[in-house]
Amino acid sequence: MGKPTEPARAILFVGMLSGSSALLEEAAAALAEEFGPTAGSSETWPFDHTDYYEAESGPHLLRRFVSFAEPVAEERLAAIKLRTNEMERELARRSRALVERPVNLDPGLLRLDSVVLASTKPAGQRIYLGSGVHAEITLIYDKGGYRPLPWTFPDFRSREYLDYFERLRDSLKAARKGAERG
């Protein structure tokens, strides 16, 4: 019989989408205030893999990821998703943007073996966490790198994203080794 154990903590990251670089900066600052010091952010890339968000967020969207210095317990993911949804609404009110959703904040967890995204949308590959939030394993670490799955979003298949997550994984691995020595 297996014995339940607590998983190691994971790196919290948030994928941000907006048509405004200034709003991405404001969102990153708000996220740091809410979730603690950041460990850094990705480059800012054009979000041109789909036009799915254009109706609610406008054209010419930009993508940036921000990660946080303090690893989190995986069971916090649903509460974090609910909070980032609230933050989206707060940022929209403050921005007075002409679009319904001027910034999109999607949290996820980076583990040594996978990248997990939170979603409020059910799907066959998603596991219900509670409070209307689901979790989806989007990338699996295999043979020296993260690999997409059949349902992985097109942007998460890009070399830029995979490289970013592999660098984050290296930092998580180094932090765990440091903790073992300390």
- Kindly give the confidence (pLDDT) of every residue in the chain, 182 residues in length, as a single tens digit, with 9 standing for 90 and above: 999 998 889 999 999 999 999 999 999 999 999 999 999 999 999 999 888 888 889 899 999 999 999 999 999 999 999 999 999 999 999 888 788 899 999 999 999 999 999 999 999 999 999 999 999 999 999 999 999 999 999 999 999 999 999 999 999 998 877 777 76
Residue 115 is assigned to a structural domain of this protein? yes
Question: Residue 97 has what pLDDT?
Answer: 78
Query: Is residue 15 a contact partner of residue 81, using CB atoms and an 8 Å limit?
Result: no
For the chain, the domain total comes to 1
Please tell me the predicted confidence (pLDDT) of residue 143. 94
Instruction: Look at residue 102 in the predicted model and tell me its pLDDT.
Output: 92
Residue found under tokens 């989190």: 72
Q: What is the pLDDT of residues 107-142, one digit of tens each?
A: 999 999 999 999 999 999 999 999 999 999 999 999
Distance CA 129, CA 127 (A): 6
CA distance 56 to 59: 9
For 8, what's the count of Cα atoms within 13 Å in the CB-facing half-sphere?
A: 14
Domain-located, residue 88? yes
pTM (2 d.p.) = 0.94
Residue 131 φ then ψ, to 5°: 55, 30
φ, ψ for residue 86 (rounded to 5)? -60, -40
Is 123 a member of any domain?
yes
Is residue 150 domain-resident? yes
pLDDT at 182: 61
In a domain, 2, yes or no: no
Q: With respect to residue 3, please indicate whether it lies within any of the assigned structural domains.
A: no
CA-based nearest residue to 15, from 166, 165, 182, 175: 165
Rounded to whole angstroms, the maximal C-alpha distance in the chain is: 57
Q: What is the pLDDT of residue 22?
A: 93
Range of the structural domain that residue 76 is part of: 11-181
Tell me whether residue 1 is in a domain: no
111 belongs to a structural domain? yes
Task: Please give the Cα distance from 156 to 20 (Å, whole number).
Answer: 21
